[in-house]
Amino acid sequence: MTLPCYCHPTSGKSAGAPTLPQRVAYSLPSLANCHMTTSFEPIALVTGATSGIGKVTAQQLARQGYHVVLLARNADKAARTRQEIQPEAWPGRRVDVLLCDLSDLNQVRRAAEEFNQRYARLDVLVNNAGLVFGNERETSASGPEMTLTTNHLGPFLLTSLLLPKLQQSPAARIVNVASMAYQFAKPDFATLDVAGSYSPMRAYANSKLFNIMFTQELARRLRERGIHNVSTNSLHPGVVASNFGSNSTWLTRAFYKVAAPFMTSSEDGAQTSIYLATAPEVAQTSGGYFVKQRPEAVKSGFNTPDNAQRLWQESERLVGQPFFQE
């Protein structure tokens, strides 16, 4: 049975009751109960994998038998993380490092080229990295605003460049870590910048809405092209007590410090990412937004088919190439 998709509301109004996401055709075997002798070695790439929920996600995937690739900015932190996770991997399964700053699109291109040369396929891509920046608007090395580039354009381009390897998998999964902060988004779809005066939290909220809309539109376009062995879903991990927000204003840092005892742990925050990357029951699900491992409707008046098209087109313009290399 094919379930309906909730890629977009049917009008410019906010989505109402949750609608089930689209199903796709194939699924990887669940590795949690597989024997060590399985000849299938799934490959997972996790961005932002040196701390917080990204590190926990990479660690859990390694424990489940994945060959894990850590994409990280800092070489020393990446090396330490690899040393921590490698002993927990299955015998013969590696934990590798791929250095890349997602705010620099040239680095994204180099990292994708290196991955494509080193690996035959990609089974799981977890676009986890995301940051809140300071009170003053910053531009990235690639030109666009820093939050937009790091949290949306970098993952958009990375996913595009790795798509041929994802298509080599029997059933690949793309997991995009968004946030319930999307509800505070106020974007200008002509530029993808913050509408009105700049605010770091508004820029972050915009980028998280873009993560969700990218996921939904990607699911639609994959189906449109008959690519049924690649699924994609997004999620809210919860308000996680980690080093998130360490690059932001003193007020944001102070808030996170005071609120930390009431936040969820990185271990708990990573569970929906791990669920979407591995659980058999969502193997045929694409285009969904999940909270606590359950699908939820996206309640945003910005989340319309027209805006999704504009977001896609403007993202392609800003990264300098079409998403699908045809």
Q: Global pTM?
A: 0.86
Interval 265-291: pLDDT, tens: 889 999 999 999 999 999 999 999 999
Q: Which residues of 50-63 are buried (b: 16+ CB within 10 A; e: fewer)?
A: bbbbbbbbbbbbbb
- Residue 22 has what pLDDT? 62
246 near 257, Cβ under 8 Å?
no
Helices (H) and strands (E) in the chain, counts: 10, 12
Bridging pattern class, strands 67-72 and 43-47 = parallel
Bridging pattern class, strands 193-194 and 95-99 = unpaired
Interval 83-96: pLDDT, tens: 999 999 999 999 99
Average pLDDT, the chain: 86
Region 121-136: mean pLDDT is 94
- Give 258: exposed, middle or buried? Use CB within 10 Å, 0-12, 13-18, 19+: exposed
Q: What are the two backbone dihedrals, phi and then psi, of residue 16, each rounded to the nearest 5 degrees?
A: -95, -125
| C-beta neighbour count of 108 within 10 angstroms | 25
**Nearest Cα to Cα of residue 115 among 180, 185, 43:** 43
- Residue 2 has what pLDDT? 32
- Give 235: exposed, middle or buried? Use CB within 10 Å, 0-12, 13-18, 19+: buried
Interval 146-205: pLDDT, tens: 999 999 999 999 999 999 999 999 999 999 999 999 999 999 988 898 878 899 999 999
Region 217-243: mean pLDDT is 89
In the chain, where the domains are located: 22-239+269-318
- The catalytic site residues sit at 198
Judged against a pLDDT cut of 70, whether residue 218 lies above it is answered with yes
Q: Is 137 helix (H, G, I), strand (E, B) or coil?
A: coil
The CATH T-level fold of domain 22-239+269-318 is Rossmann fold (3.40.50)
